[in-house]
């Protein structure tokens, strides 16, 4: 099957090219001008951007978190992703039973995703305890299953101790796998949660107050120091939310530390703790880390522009406002943590980033496509427009204007944190391995068409 996309502005992380893109059998065949495609389908992209499909390396589909289950499964969640221009995800699997091997959750997640996902998908392993068996499994899963990243949490019940994290980082350095880390100081967070709750201060704003910026900065610093002591082990800071945390990363890089990857998410660029002002509405934005200040947002935009932050993911973890989120009414500690966002990412970053001149269109491709793909061992199969890459393509009309509303989205949550936000630009068409999956904001692809991605080694800027 052949398709040609004619007369578009093709975007890579380093340049824009006016021309055509030829796709055949799910693969990009050629970029150029005056290309033709006998007997194939022709798509006119005059006046439009032609982007690589975006890669979201931080989603939580079908997540069981304590008593709560995230409401998007791998079908609804990946339909939403596709409608937002994301054509591959790497999902963070939930914690399994205490003491389970790494493979337990990977097996569970194949059962959840296989036959349901509409875009290609991989899994990060999750570290809940560390022993010789786990260290051996890291190698086996990387080699045999293409699971080349293993997440560690510094908070929540299954957090790792510094000693265990250090041990895992050393192992990651030996194997060439990467350790994404959720950085919050668990001791301070838990003390403050109890402090506020015991004084009856239980509105959503106290969710933010119980997780101050320095909780993140301290944990980021600790992780980076441990990674340095482990020989500059490959480490990746997930969902960075603060200027203080960003400074810790700049310090580490200035010291010469290598093998650091950094991610933020649209919510930390575009929303602030103002979202918690209303005790009921504020539940929508209860997520960890919490939303911060306008100054933090500005600092993070600066981090995107100067390359301190490598990737923008979503931490998509949707619950319904009318159902699960209501558990937090009058007690923020009982509110399930997380918010939807997988569909909003590319439209928001185009509108608020590119159209407003904060980042370039090439930066957008670097941050949402090429860098996450490289960091998580998917490059150049994903995240780029080049011959041989998967024909995952997004056609975006930069002149369209619309308003972001929940009614135009496709996930199972019943709200968006960005309700009513005006958007510059709109996605016209999304192709997944050459097949049209989204047309005019309607999913037209096939349930189960997504394939499991066996990933390779992470490639970090400045890697040894
Ligand atoms: O609040 C969030 N982000 N929930 C998802 C789990 C996590 O902490 O990443
Ligand atoms: Zn997460």
Alpha carbons 405 and 400: distance in angstroms, whole number? 15
Q: Which of 91, 117, 118 is closest to 105 using CA atoms? A: 91
Two tokens at 187?
């001791």
Q: How many helices (H) and strands (E) does the chain have?
A: 13, 19
**What mean pLDDT is predicted for residues 102-114?**
98
Percent of the chain with pLDDT over 70: 99
**245-284 burial string, b = 16+ CB within 10 Å, else e?**
bbbbbeebbeeebbbbbbbbbbbbbbbbbebbeeeeebbb
**Most distant CA atoms of the chain, gap in Å:** 73
What's the pLDDT band for 86 if we cut at 50, 70, 90?
A: very high
Two tokens at 396?
């975006």
CA of residue 200 relative to chain centroid, distance: 35
Residue 316: pLDDT over 90:
yes
Question: Given this model, what pLDDT does residue 266 score?
Answer: 99
| C-beta 6 within 6 A of ligand 1 | no
Residue nearest to atom 7 of ligand 1 (CA): 288
Residue with tokens 């947002």: 297
| C-beta 171 within 6 A of ligand 1 | no
Residue 18: pLDDT over 80:
yes
Residue nearest to atom 5 of ligand 1 (CA): 338
Ligand nearest to the CA of 90: 2
Alpha carbons within 13 A on the beta-carbon side of 6: 10
Two tokens at 462?
């400045």
**What mean pLDDT is predicted for residues 156-167?**
97
Residue 463: pLDDT over 90:
no
Alpha carbons 188 and 184: distance in angstroms, whole number? 9
The tens digit of pLDDT for each residue in 217-246 reads 999 999 999 999 999 999 999 999 999 999
What's the pLDDT band for 109 if we cut at 50, 70, 90?
A: very high
By most ligand atoms within 8 Å of CB, the mutation choice from 70, 124, 126, 337 for ligand 1 is 337
What's the pLDDT band for 464 if we cut at 50, 70, 90?
A: very low
**What mean pLDDT is predicted for residues 401-428?**
98
* Angle (deg, nearest 10), helices 186-198 and 213-229: 160
Domains and CATH numbers, the chain: 52-385+453-461 (3.20.20.140)
Bridge-based pairing state of the strands 68-69 and 235-237: unpaired
Residue 286: pLDDT over 50:
yes
Ligand nearest to the CA of 94: 1
Please list, in sequence order, all residues whose beta carbon lies within 8 angstroms of the beta carbon of residue 384, skipping any fewer than 6 positions away.
12, 13, 52, 365, 369, 370, 373
| C-beta 182 within 6 A of ligand 1 | yes
| C-beta 337 within 6 A of ligand 1 | yes
Q: How far is the CA of 110 from the centre of ligand 1 (A)?
A: 21
DSSP string, 46-89: TT-EEEEPEEEEEE-TT-EETTEE-S--TTHHHHHHHHTTEEEE
Would you tell me how many other CB atoms lie within 10 Å of the CB of residue 4? 21
Q: Which of 147, 150, 140 is closest to 121 using CA atoms? A: 147
| C-beta 410 within 6 A of ligand 1 | no
| C-beta 315 within 6 A of ligand 1 | yes
| C-beta 339 within 6 A of ligand 1 | no
153 CA: nearest ligand 1 atom: 8
Residue 416: pLDDT over 70:
yes
| C-beta 211 within 6 A of ligand 1 | no
What is the model's pTM? 0.98
Two tokens at 444?
């037209």
Question: Given this model, what pLDDT does residue 462 score?
Answer: 52
By most ligand atoms within 8 Å of CB, the mutation choice from 59, 276, 288 for ligand 1 is 288
Question: Given this model, what pLDDT does residue 460 score?
Answer: 84
**What mean pLDDT is predicted for residues 455-464?**
76
State whether residue 225 is helix, strand or coil: helix
| C-beta 317 within 6 A of ligand 1 | yes
């Amino acid at each position: 099957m052949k398709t040609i996309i004619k007369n578009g502005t093709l975007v890579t992380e380093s340049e824009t090219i006016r021309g055509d893109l030829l796709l055949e059998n799910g693969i990009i065949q050629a970029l150029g001008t005056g290309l033709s495609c006998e007997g194939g389908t022709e798509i006119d992209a005059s006046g439009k951007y032609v982007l690589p499909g975006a890669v979201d390396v931080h989603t939580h589909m079908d997540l069981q978190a304590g008593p709560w289950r995230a409401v998007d499964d791998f079908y609804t969640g990946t339909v939403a992703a596709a409608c937002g221009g994301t054509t591959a995800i790497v999902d963070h699997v939930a914690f399994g039973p205490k003491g389970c091997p790494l493979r337990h959750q990977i097996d569970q997640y194949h059962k959840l995703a296989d036959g349901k996902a509409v875009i290609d998908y991989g899994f990060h392993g999750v570290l809940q305890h560390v022993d010789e068996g786990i260290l051996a499994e890291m190698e086996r899963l990387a080699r045999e299953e293409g699971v080349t990243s293993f997440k560690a949490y510094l908070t929540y019940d299954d957090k790792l101790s510094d000693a265990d994290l250090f041990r895992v980082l050393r192992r990651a350095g030996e194997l060439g796998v990467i350790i994404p880390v959720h950085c919050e100081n668990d001791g301070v967070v838990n003390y403050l949660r109890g402090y506020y709750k015991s004084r009856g201060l239980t509105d959503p704003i106290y969710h933010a107050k119980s997780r101050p910026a320095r909780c993140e900065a301290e944990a980021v610093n600790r992780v980076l120091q441990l990674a340095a002591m482990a020989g500059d082990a490959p480490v990746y800071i997930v969902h960075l939310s603060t200027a203080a945390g960003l400074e810790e990363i700049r310090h580490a890089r200035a010291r010469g530390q290598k093998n650091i990857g950094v991610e933020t998410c649209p919510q930390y660029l575009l929303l602030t703790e103002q979202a918690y002002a209303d005790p009921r509405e504020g539940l929508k934005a209860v997520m960890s880390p919490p939303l911060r200040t306008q100054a933090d947002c500005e600092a993070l935009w600066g981090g995107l522009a100067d390359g301190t932050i490598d990737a923008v993911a979503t931490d998509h973890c949707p619950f319904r406002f009318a159902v699960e989120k209501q558990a937090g009414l009058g007690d923020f500690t009982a509110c399930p943590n997380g918010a939807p966002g997988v569909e909003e990412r590319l439209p928001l970053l185009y509108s608020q980033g590119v159209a407003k001149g904060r980042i370039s269109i090439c930066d957008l491709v670097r941050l949402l496509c090429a860098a996450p793909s490289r960091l998580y061992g998917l490059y150049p199969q994903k995240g780029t427009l080049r011959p041989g890459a998967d024909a995952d393509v997004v056609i975006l009309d930069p002149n369209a204007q619309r308003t972001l509303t929940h009614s135009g989205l496709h996930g199972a949550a019943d709200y968006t944190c960005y309700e009513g936000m005006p958007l510059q630009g709109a996605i016209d068409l999304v192709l997944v391995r050459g097949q049209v999956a989204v047309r005019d904001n309607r999913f037209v692809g096939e349930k189960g068409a997504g394939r499991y991605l066996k990933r390779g080694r992470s490639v970090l800027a400045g890697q040894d």
